[in-house]
Structure 1
Amino acid sequence: AGIDLPALSRAGVEIFFTQVFRDGFFHADMHPGNIFIATDPEHHGRYIALDFGIVGTLTDTDKNYLAQNFLAFFQRDYKRVATAHIEAGWAPPDTRADEFEAAVRAVCEPIFDRPLHEISFGRVLLRLFQTSRRFNVEIQPQLVMLQKTLLNIEGLGRQLDPNLDLWKTAKPFLERWMNEQVGRRAFRRGVEQEAPNWARMLPQLPRLVHQALARPVAPEVAPQLAKLVRTQRQQNRLLAIIVVLLTALLLSQYFGPQLG
């Protein structure tokens, strides 16, 4: 008694998408028998998941697949769905993007005949999988498991709250994931991760180049070697600039608060 069912419904969906996009590890048997609701005063109304006998794991590639396709689908950008499959290597490189786009549009566009809050993520994913298989896309088992789990989550959520809007609940998770992968924070994180490797490699480059130049060079490869040396020098200058900028950034972050 006194349980806020709409809030409980949203909590279940948010927990699931947190598991998927933050943890890459999700409960894959979310039927009603595995969900309890706390009734004690301190945790009243809290969502409790039981029985983690079946779980799924997702790689960053899997999460990228889900985020890109869900965002493109709800923006009705079927061309992006098709090109994402091809560019990421999910579909064979000789796949015709226009044919893939038309096939996705044919099966997905009718879904938008109903209000957005009534659209099933699980059924969207199922239709996308069915269409993708026609273009020789191999759907990974963990994604199939996730799709089935998503249907359970949706069904239970809408039993608790018939007006549950999964898109509104899921969109922040999808956008946050994409921003972390391709936004400025992703670039900065990548630079910070690679900086130690660049710092270790830079001092060795002159010696390696000198050793390469000291070896006898066949006449037919001399032009290619000269071009390689020029390219390497350009890369060395670029790496040096990046390391200096990164060092300045890290120093400003470390000493800035102390000076302030």
Structure 2
Amino acid sequence: MKIEALARLERYTKRIAEIATVLGKYGLADLFGGFKYTWLQDRLKSADGQSLTDGVTQSARVRMALTELGTTFIKLGQMLSTRADLLGPELTDELSQLQANVPPDPSSVARATIEAELGQPIEQLFASFEDTPLAAASVAQVHAARLHTGHSVVVKVRRAGVAEQAATDVEIVQALAELLEQHSPSLRSYQPLAVVRQFRRTLLRELDLTYERQNQEEFGRNFAEDPTVCIPELFSELCSHQVVTMQRMNGLIGTDIEALKQSGVDLGEFAKRGANMYLEMVFRDGFYHADPHPGNLFLLPGNIVGVIDCGMVGRIDEDLRDEVEALLFGVVENDSELVAEQVLRLGSVPADCSRDKLRADLQEFMADYTGHPLNEVHVGAALSSLVEIIRNHHIVLPPSLAMLLKTLIVLEGTSRRFSPDVSLAALMQPYCTRLMLRRFSPGRIAKRARRSFRVWNRLLTALPRDITDMMARFRDGSFTVHLDHRHLDPIVNRLVLGILTAAIFLGSSELWSRQAAPLLYGVSIFGALGYAVSLFFGWRLMRAIRKSGNIQSKD
């Protein structure tokens, strides 16, 4: 893996130089201090060897560096902002502010992309097309247009060259992640390789606008009967992998708080409708819009909630739904034992995790919220505290659950931005009650029983065959046991080096004391050379021990 990672890095030397320059500029080169590749280390420094942003927190410097590095790294930061269980609240809060600060592609480039994708001139596709984009983000930009039928639409166009640049950057990021896992103990616990692999899958889906169109169509079907929600209508004949054409929202965007207040609309009701829409997505459909930012919401006439930008979504499968329901049941029953058990079942748990300490921390956490009126409970703060407890015990949550928790945290912040009186906890109560009733309904119990029966049936069917096979191997002498001695090679190498050093030292002492020829000023030349070699080997051995921390280290 090490050779492959280095080969990939060598292929993209120019881009790596740009990345290294930005890291040095923002004083982030120390993150790669464990690398032992001189050609890379030389680039991880600013011109004067100092940080150019003294007085700025490291989290803010990470955000600024990712912004400067462009689309791929902005998307990486946005994905990492959902992983408070890995990075902690300070860094994830900073990454949540990531916004692309990029100039739009020239209108001629956007027009050429649309015509190439849809196979007709712009004039035949649209009655009018605005060359100045309404908005430009890291992946795509949006232009206003009007169809020949009179419909007012927006056309989302993928930026030119973004896919090619992303492919290069992902290769580099994956190679760096492999090296980080090997050489940077401080970052190894963040599982950089697993994070990058998940990011690769997510980014490829976001770059293909077909997935966004499919997501939007599914949301449209789910809310077709809800008069309080508007999902923009899509015009499929004007969509492709790089172009999406949809109905234009004629309303007020959620980021324009002053205009919302001056509209005279009941913002409390608007906030409740928006929050209920997301809760329906999560608890009813198991398929939700994962970016409840105010910029993705519109206030439409009639106090209707409009939703845009369906590229980032989350899904809750049946297994995760069951585990989350059990977790909520434990919280409702104030059962710290059950909550701790569910946290351990949901996450990746280190071998040295103290279950008693986890249970005690969770009991203290639940005591802080027990007995309080629902309108006084801040879901975002509660979930953030829960994630912090999980992180302190070095438990890594599955990405789907981490995204769900992040969505609920952001959702509460967005709701309170529209109306401080809105309580997400109170709005969630009927959904949680519905979950509990559904969990213990005869249908769900029967379904779980059928699933358990299938599992036990497979086990009981395979067990006799496996035992017979094992006994047959045992009888004919082909039964083998493989032991994996992890980290044994460095220990053996140090032991051999120590024995060799001692042997050379003793042999040299014998030559020196007997004045074995040839002599120089009465000193045995071979004895002196042996002393020098044994001192060098001894120095190397002590240096290796000091770098590992202690003589018993396995690293």
**TMscore range, shorter length:** 0.5 to 0.7
SS at match of 2:364: helix
* Residues 1:161 and 1:66: Cα distance change in structure 2 (over 3 Å): farther
Match of residue 408 from structure 2: 150
Match of residue 49 from structure 1: 307
Contact 2:347 2:397 in 1 (8 A): no
Shift in Å, 1:33: 1.1
* Residues 1:51 and 1:91: Cα distance change in structure 2 (over 3 Å): same
Of 22-31 and 133-142, deviating more is 133-142
Shift in Å, 1:11: 1.5
Contact 1:108 1:124 in 2 (8 A): no
Shift in Å, 1:35: 0.4
The one of 82, 87, 111 aligned to 2:340: 82
Shift in Å, 1:84: 2.9
The one of 271, 282, 290 aligned to 1:9: 271
**Structural mapping, 1:22-171, within 5 Å:** 22-39=284-301, 44-73=302-331, 76-86=334-344, 97-110=355-368, 116-171=374-429
**Residues of 2 paired with 1:193 and 1:62: CA distance?**
15
Which structure has more RCO (C-alpha within 8 Å, separation ≥ 6)? 1
**Residues of 1 paired with 2:325 and 2:381: CA distance?**
16
What percent of counterpart residues are identical? 27
* Residues 1:159 and 1:133: Cα distance change in structure 2 (over 3 Å): closer
One-letter amino acid matched to 1:124: A
* Residues 1:93 and 1:128: Cα distance change in structure 2 (over 3 Å): same
SS at match of 2:320: helix
The one of 273, 282, 285 aligned to 1:20: 282
Residues 137-163 of structure 1 show CA distances to partners (whole Å, capped at 9, x for unaligned) of: 320122222222222211121123322
**Residues of 1 paired with 2:299 and 2:328: CA distance?**
30
**Residues of 1 paired with 2:417 and 2:434: CA distance?**
28
SS at match of 2:422: coil
* Residues 1:109 and 1:190: Cα distance change in structure 2 (over 3 Å): closer
Shift in Å, 1:190: 5.5
Match of residue 218 from structure 1: none
Shift in Å, 1:27: 0.8
Match of residue 226 from structure 2: none
* Residues 1:114 and 1:34: Cα distance change in structure 2 (over 3 Å): same
**Residues of 1 paired with 2:343 and 2:451: CA distance?**
28
**Residues of 1 paired with 2:448 and 2:330: CA distance?**
25
Alignment RMSD (CA, Å): 3.6
SS at match of 1:128: helix
| TM score, norm. by length of structure 1 | 0.61
Contact 1:79 1:98 in 2 (8 A): no
**Gapped regions of structure 1 (runs ≥ 5):** 202-260
Q: Which has the larger radius of gyration?
A: 2
One-letter amino acid matched to 1:54: M
SS at match of 1:123: helix
Match of residue 185 from structure 1: 443
Shift in Å, 1:61: 3.0
**Residues of 2 paired with 1:113 and 1:188: CA distance?**
34
Count of aligned positions:
197
**Residues of 2 paired with 1:52 and 1:129: CA distance?**
26
SS at match of 1:56: strand
Of 54-63 and 113-122, deviating more is 113-122
Shift in Å, 1:47: 1.0
Of 49-58 and 175-184, deviating more is 175-184
Greater helix content: 1
Contact 2:278 2:288 in 1 (8 A): yes
Contact 1:27 1:55 in 2 (8 A): yes
**Residues of 2 paired with 1:57 and 1:148: CA distance?**
13
**Residues of 2 paired with 1:89 and 1:145: CA distance?**
14
**Residues of 1 paired with 2:328 and 2:421: CA distance?**
20
**Residues of 1 paired with 2:273 and 2:409: CA distance?**
16
**Residues of 2 paired with 1:62 and 1:189: CA distance?**
15
**Residues of 2 paired with 1:137 and 1:188: CA distance?**
32
Shift in Å, 1:179: 2.6
SS at match of 2:322: helix
Shift in Å, 1:74: 5.2
Contact 2:340 2:358 in 1 (8 A): yes
Shift in Å, 1:45: 0.9
**Residues of 1 paired with 2:452 and 2:391: CA distance?**
37
Shift in Å, 1:189: 4.8
**Residues of 2 paired with 1:37 and 1:141: CA distance?**
31
* Residues 1:169 and 1:47: Cα distance change in structure 2 (over 3 Å): same
Residues 179-220 of structure 1 show CA distances to partners (whole Å, capped at 9, x for unaligned) of: 32333231245578999x9xxx9xxxxxxxxxxxxxxxxxxx
SS at match of 1:3: coil
SS at match of 1:19: helix
**Residues of 2 paired with 1:162 and 1:74: CA distance?**
25
SS at match of 1:48: strand
* Residues 1:156 and 1:38: Cα distance change in structure 2 (over 3 Å): same
Match of residue 78 from structure 2: none
| TM score, norm. by length of structure 2 | 0.31
